[in-house]
Amino acid sequence: MFPIAYSEFAQILRNRAVLISNLIMPLAVSAFFIYQRDSFAQIGSLGYIAVVLVFTVGAFTLYTTAVTTLSARRQDLFLKRLRSTAAGDPAILSGLTLPVALTAVVQVVVVLGIFAAVSGGPADVALLVMAILATFVMMLALAVATAGVTGSPEQAQVTTLPISLVTIAVASWVGITGTESFTLIKRVLPGGSAAELIVDTWNGGVPLADSLPLLGPTLGWVVVAIVLALRLFRWEPRR
């Protein structure tokens, strides 16, 4: 797994398009929201800004880059060649997505660290970490499923749009309006319960016993994404 991950990390560094669109752009968006934090806090809260930062990194740095990576490796038959080695399927997928996942984790730590330094830290760091990890696992599982219907890296620009836009829109909806109305709908939509948990952990005031159940819907989407990935993912180019 680790040799595959090292090789993939080197490929990402050489790909300027990926570096700009999927790695640098989320940092630029995050910098804008942090700079304008007072204005955006009036719309929602500091927790809302934290939600936007987490889901921007999750949707672009993690999800979109992972789909692009897997579809590119399928197109150039690298996936097929890897399956002829001693590495198993889980090790191959883990090796290819590990650099993207680690990059996303580093980005979100840096971005939230800067945000906390200029605006005040979260009320519950441990629960915030759990919420971010659950969100990233969901986005990574959805990336593998989406890669199954993505024929090329160019197509990834289109196939990733629905989930990217929906998760960011749902997270923003929850971050701005809360879950006092349309509670069930907001929580079962992808990213909704995770967004609520991030807002709660940043703003504080919600008991731990009431917050932990919010991990359930996010983990449910992980299961759905894994089932879809098992059905849709292809190791060779579509004919």
Domain count, the chain: 1
pLDDT band at 2 (very low <50, low <70, confident <90, very high): low
Residue 139 contacts residue 63 (beta carbons within 8 Å): yes
Structure tokens belonging to residue 33 = 């929201």
In a domain, 238, yes or no: no
Highest-pLDDT range among 11-20, 148-157, 166-175: 166-175
In a domain, 48, yes or no: yes
Higher pLDDT, 3 or 33: 33
Q: Are 166 and 190 in contact (CB under 8 A)?
A: yes
- Is 202 within 8 Å of 122 (Cβ atoms)? yes
Task: Give the mean model confidence (pLDDT) for residues 95-121.
Answer: 90
pLDDT at 181 over 80: yes
Q: So what's the pLDDT on residue 239?
A: 59
* C-alpha–C-alpha distance, residues 31 and 19, integer Å: 17
pLDDT value of residue 63:
94
208 in any annotated domain: yes
What is the predicted pLDDT for the residue at 215? 87
What are the distances in angstroms from CA 217 to CA 81, 152, 214, 230? 37, 31, 6, 20
**Domain that residue 13 falls in:** 2-232
Is residue 16 in a domain? yes
Tell me, what's the pLDDT at 151? 84
What pLDDT, in 10s, does the model give residues 32-70?
888 888 877 778 788 899 999 999 999 988 999 999 889
Considering the domain boundaries, does residue 237 fall inside one? no
Is 57 part of a structural domain of the chain?
yes
